[in-house]
Amino acid sequence: MTVWSAAGQRAIQRCDTLGAAPYSEAEGQLFRRFLTPAHAHAIEAVGGWMREAGLTTHIDPIGNLVGRSKAARDAPALLIGSHIDSVHNAGRYDGPLGVMIGIECAAALARRASPLPFAIEVIAFGDEEGSRFPLSMMGSRALTVPLGEEALEQTDGDGVSVAEALRAFGLDPAEVPAAVRPPGQIIAYVEPHIEQGPVLEAAGLPVGVVTGIAGQVRLIVRFTGEAGHAGTTPMRLRRDPIAAAAECVLAIEQICAAGPADLVGTVGRILPSSAAFNVIAGRVEMGVDVRAANDPTRDTAVEAISREIAAIAARRGVAVGLERAQTLPASPCDPHLVALMEDAVGAVGVSPLRLVSGAGHDAMIMAALAPTAMLFIRCAGGVSHNPAESATPEDADIACRALLAFIERLAADFKGFAP
């Protein structure tokens, strides 16, 4: 039988507690949006757990909950965190598990014989998912740049602005720029998070070391052919944009499969101008998502995809227009912290597997402020953003111990803050 300490079990149980009313806005499922009563209840509960772990808590001007260890007021801090908001009909561990693991580490460190050379701050970001307002990751963004009028004037589905929601939450929108952390305060940001993918489970490993968050390009491809009658237009006279799109889907799959393992390309949508059985569509719009651990790999693939799309369209006599709708740069984790995390994972008896995060996280925003590291925790079937999301107390416990080993290594390494 596997033996584990109470830490992992407590972390999982606390996530489970947060999975229902009053910590959820929706009956019978988990939905916790930024600056709602459910968010306020979650802050109350998580704040209580932070204080039990010996942390002093406060709510920052954007509604993030912060717990700080006993240390000199001006001592630089290691920030451990994740988010406590959720998507609609969410799982219980995406976000909260990282916060709970941070609290367990803080509790263990409070019992340490000699004080750490830096403070520990555990942060529970109020918004990462963007499930209430259009802009996502407002919690971490507010720490890195002063959020201006544009951000505060955004409205939710009921027409309530961020500024109004902050006021209803007991916060002052005019104070939001004060949430920015000055340089020299934070030595590093580390985020434990469920993997939200199947790689660790397939490798039989409880945790994995994240090397970075993939950069993403979104392409909108518009094919224009010639609409026609499905019965009367001979095959050789057709200029069918759906057939051109279909050939492109397979080409994109081939190009990405032939690249490095972290390169992924997806055609997530194909919208023909006609959806009738008996019509050759005149136009098709296709949405392409390409991601890789580094921007050159991704951009090389995007160039190859663009050339191939142009060639296929030309061969088929179909006009094509290509638009880059979104470019998000890759966010590599700090190489030195990645090496420390690998060593820490090895020290708790787990073979340290390196992996890339295909999904976005607060760490990619925090990278503007401090070196970042992430530790992934196995989740059953790679299922996430779904009530079936599942992680085990054993794995959570290994994550707690690996993170503690990481912090000990960081402390041994720490020679004062060099911005």
Scanning 60-68, 91-99, 320-328, 363-371 for contacts with Zn ion by CB under 5 A, the matching segment is 91-99
Would you say 94 or 334 has its CB closer to Zn ion?
A: 94
> What minimum distance in Å lies between the beta carbon of 193 and Zn ion?
6
> What minimum distance in Å lies between the beta carbon of 95 and Zn ion?
4
Would you say 185 or 357 has its CB closer to Zn ion?
A: 357
> What minimum distance in Å lies between the beta carbon of 93 and Zn ion?
9
The residue within the footprint of Zn ion, chosen from 25, 60, 85, 94 (CB under 5 A), is 94
Q: How far apart are CA 261 and CA 207, in angstroms?
A: 19
According to the binding rule CB under 5 A, does residue 95 interact with Zn ion? yes
Encoded amino acid at 333, one letter: C
Would you say 99 or 109 has its CB closer to Zn ion?
A: 99
According to the binding rule CB under 5 A, does residue 360 interact with Zn ion? no
Q: How far apart are CA 102 and CA 399, in angstroms?
A: 10
Scanning 54-62, 87-95, 222-230, 246-254 for contacts with Zn ion by CB under 5 A, the matching segment is 87-95
Would you say 215 or 225 has its CB closer to Zn ion?
A: 215
> What minimum distance in Å lies between the beta carbon of 368 and Zn ion?
19
Count of residues binding Zn ion (CB under 5 A)? 2
According to the binding rule CB under 5 A, does residue 63 interact with Zn ion? no
> What minimum distance in Å lies between the beta carbon of 94 and Zn ion?
4
Would you say 95 or 241 has its CB closer to Zn ion?
A: 95
> What minimum distance in Å lies between the beta carbon of 207 and Zn ion?
16
> What minimum distance in Å lies between the beta carbon of 151 and Zn ion?
20
Scanning 94-102, 146-154, 219-227, 302-310 for contacts with Zn ion by CB under 5 A, the matching segment is 94-102
- Lookup: tokens for 66: 């912060």
Would you say 283 or 291 has its CB closer to Zn ion?
A: 291
Residues that bind Zn ion in the complex, under the rule CB under 5 A = 94-95
